[in-house]
Chains A and B, each alone.
Chain A
Amino acid sequence: MNLDVVFSGVGGQGVVVLSDIYCEAAMLDGFDVAKAEIHGMAQRGGSIVAYARIGAKVESPLIETGKADAIVGFEILETARALPMLKQHGTVIVNKKYIPPNCMVAGAKPKKAEDLMALVRAKALVHEVDGIGIAQKLGNLLVVNTILLGALSALPEIPVKTVSFEQAIAGKIKEKYVNLNLKAFQLGRESVLMS
């Protein structure tokens, strides 16, 4: 059986890098991995989604609708957008940050963050992570995604070892930021374990 995770956010939030670290960690534990993402035109400020699949053998990189085990949402609207991917009673880790899209331009009706969260809660087991709050405590707003990775690592369904996550972070992040990110990972982890 494969374990399928959807990473969803807005261009520039680090969705691709984070899903890479997750896959690198899974590979350290001997899992086969495949992931999909889109670069180029789709990247300019638009919605970004990356699919990461791990297992003994992974045949293809895309996740089926309604089959994802978990969603890691970097932003509330994009989390709600990824919901149809999630299986019934799947898990959602959501960063409590709402970036409203430019509705004036798109001609669509805006939604309130609370309404979007209600949609998410109706379908999934939700772990809300105050990524920005924790990051502020660490004094660097750029570690929000590592905090989310820590939260993901704490889910019981994720079979990847904590030490592998830490090793993958150390392999991917610039040396002088490694300790900061390991701390962020730990705090993210605790935010789920303590809740």
Chain B
Amino acid sequence: MTSKIAADKPGSFALLNGDEAVARGAVEATVKVAAAYPGTPATEILESIAEVAKEFGIYAEWSINEIVAAEVAAGASMAGVRSMVSMKHVGLNVAADAVMTLAYTGVEGGLVIAVCDDPALHSSQNEQDTRFFAVHSKLPLLDAGSPQEAHDMAREAFEISEKLGLPVILRLTTRVAHGKARVKLGTFQKISRRADFDKNGSKWVMVPSNAIRQHRVLEGRLAEAKRLAENSGFNVLEDNGCEIGIVGSGVGYYYARSVLNTKKFSWLKLGFVHPFPEEAVKKFASKVKKLIVIEELRPYIEENIQRLCLQVSGKIQLGLEEIGEFTPDNIRQALAKQGLTTQTEKQEPVDLPPRPPALCPGCPHRAFYYALNMVNQSVNCDTDKCVGCDICEYACSFEKEKVFNPLKSRIRSVRINQTLNTAVTCKACINAPCIKACPEEAITQSKETGSIVLDETKCKGCDWCIEACKYGAITRHPTTHKAMVCDRCDGDPKCIPACPESALSLGGKSNDKIVTGDIGCYTLGVLPPVNAVQSCLCMGAGISQAAGMIHAGVKDKVFSVIGDSTFFHGGMPGLLNIVYNKANVCVIVMDNSVVAMTGHQPTPGSGKTAMGTDAKIVKIQDIAKAVGIEKVEVIDPYDIKTATAKIRETIEYNGPSVIISQRPCPLLIERGKPREIKEECNACGICVKAFGCPAISLQKDHAEIDSSLCYGCGVCETVCQFDAIRRKEK
């Protein structure tokens, strides 16, 4: 099937989303070079262009980040051809350094910067409003409210850019970018240009003496842009001779139209919003008695109208927030309060269990997080199940001393109150305080398993370790008076199968390691039951945040988790920095060789480009070694035992280290044989409560695997401590 945006049928309609519409508009306008870094909701712009690139003689690339993409587009524009760079709103922050000064140099071939904002943060970390970036950078901005506008504006933006000699920002929001609508297609323009660069132009060299001159040039261009905005066909006035006039931009304006009787109001839809078309707004204001502004996020139009000393009802008067997105519901509510429309009947809310997003079945990230959580593995007790029967104590004393004597047990049954019981044993802390407390150096920690090991020949029974343990997990032997501590029976604790209530399980949940996170699918590791990640700021931040904590003097071991594409995007400088400034961060690169979150775009590690041609595969381990990391481990996250052992090694290691957890995203490879639950299952729940695979659910007395969801990774077999999961035959 050919691409929807390739059809040479001007005047016909296609069902396009805003991103596809931008791509079509750019192709119609003969864009020659397009670059981007994937980011929801802007991804499909470059994706759609790349799909038709060969057919239309376009060069399209996934750059490693947004500033690189912006610079590639800038270079193409300097060579005289039309170029486009697209990104999500936060990507513009990354590209800002280039864009701010591009405003000074200006452009040769038309350059369009397509940016998608994300009100309500459907898939983002903030709600910044790109219209204010246009003010900040002094660049013209077109604000699309529908896929049709996105198409028309993308096409026109190249003309405006070349007329002004400036890059033009085209802004979409999520509901425009990912809303589909009937879009009327235009003709493919016939513009043929030879790429050539004028080597003598001083305007490209932004040394101070040139730059101050170019700043003056920019002001002149901005004045010209204002003239274009005043007369732009994207600012649509509908004068119905009414008292109330409604001004708006973006999709919010159309919500207002859909909840009001349009004939009873006059309308001004602003599309060319920066520079602000003051005269057009003044003209509209003179025709009505009252102005109402409808705009998502920050009050950009409202403040500009106030600057004209005009009365206006905006955010505060209408009770509309700067936070979140508009919907027809909240717009109706606001306008009904003004008496402009009717309230709708209140709907009874239904109390239903939520279905939050989760890491997919078979996801290697889940397996790795499980290994990470297991690093300080211990016998844990489910207080909902424990009845305080003390059988674990008997099992332990029999295993260790061949007697049934609870006083000789390494696990302690504890009554919290009359109805709540639990069992306490060693938590195998990282940097365990008992080790430091022992004056005889009788306590050590196993490098492989993390178990606390007591050398009874050295122990003098001073009890200092008992005082140091914040869990009360070390006890005193009633006859030898030496310390006793759980060693987890070499990884096979005998208390677990002995518990008649299946309350005990071997698990890990650290409260003595810090894990900074980053942006990608693996950010879902913050959700229960994984609970492995404690931060998420911006692309590449985790590594340097971890370093900052170490320099601040935190006592805990600090890990930083980052995806492969995020590592290429913004993690590499941070990695170099922890080598140079010596921070003992263990950086974990979750390498699934693709940008999974945004829909599987290739990365420098995939061996493919945006246009499907072969590329050199860049290995993360090579980069890590090249910047000076001396401890680099590549592991298979499905192999939880090895993964745990390697993570533990890095805890002991003095210096920055890198673990690369390597497994392709399971959505891209063929499924394995599904797993099934065997009779041995006693509903201990570890596969659901600690591992958290969405394919497994917990019934009353057993777990169940939905074979239509199971990817057959088989990691649950390792997780299960009762050998109750097997490969499904037939």
Interface positions of A (Cβ within 8 A of B): 10-11, 20, 23-24, 27, 32-47, 58-67, 77-78, 80-81, 83-84, 88, 99-111, 116, 119, 174
Contact = CB atoms under 8 A, between A and B. Distances in A.
Given A47-B355, A102-B358, A36 B175 contact: yes
A63 B347 CA distance: 14
Contacts of B597: 40-41
A62 B328 contact: yes
B353 A42 contact: no
Contact of A111 (B1, B43, B353, B692): B353
22 contacts: A20-B15, A34-B182, A36-B175, A40-B598, A41-B357, A46-B356, A60-B251, A61-B175, A61-B180, A61-B181, A61-B251, A62-B255, A64-B328, A64-B344, A80-B350, A102-B688, A104-B698, A105-B528, A106-B353, A108-B353, A109-B353, A116-B352
Given A33-B182, A61-B251, A105-B689, 5 more contacts: A27-B13, A40-B122, A66-B344, A66-B347, A101-B353
Contact of B348 (A40, A84, A106): A84
A163 B360 CA distance: 38
Contact size class for B?
35 or more
Contacts of A108: 352-354
* Most chain B CB atoms below 10 A, which of A37, A59, A174: A59
B258 A60 contact: yes
Contacts of B448: none
A41 B40 contact: yes
A60 B350 contact: no
Nearest to B596: A44
B439 interface: no
Given A33-B182, A108-B354, A40 B349 contact: no
A82 B372 CA distance: 38
Contacts, number: 164
A154 B173 CA distance: 35
B228 interface: no
Contacts of B356: 46, 105-106
Contacts of A41: 40, 122-123, 357, 597
Contacts of A61: 175, 179-181, 251
Nearest to A23: B15
Contact of A63 (B15, B180, B328, B706): B328
B328 to A, nearest CB: 4
Given A34-B179, A38-B122, A38-B174, A101 B524 contact: no
B410 interface: no
A83 B528 CA distance: 28
Nearest to B689: A104
A42 to B, nearest CB: 6
Nearest to B253: A60
B350 A119 contact: yes
Contacts of A34: 146, 179-182
B15 A24 contact: yes
A111 B357 CA distance: 19
B456 interface: no
Interface string B168-182: 000000110011111
B181 A58 contact: yes
A101 B354 contact: yes
Contacts of B529: 104-105
B288 interface: no
A60 B254 contact: yes
Contacts of B259: 64
B685 interface: yes
A24 B146 CA distance: 17
A104 B348 CA distance: 26
Contacts of A67: 344
Nearest to A41: B123
A102 B41 contact: no
B255 A60 contact: yes
A119 B257 CA distance: 33
Contact of B123 (A39, A83, A109): A39
Contacts of B327: 62, 64
A35 B183 CA distance: 12
B345 A32 contact: no
Nearest to A86: B347
A144 B196 CA distance: 55
A99 to B, nearest CB: 8
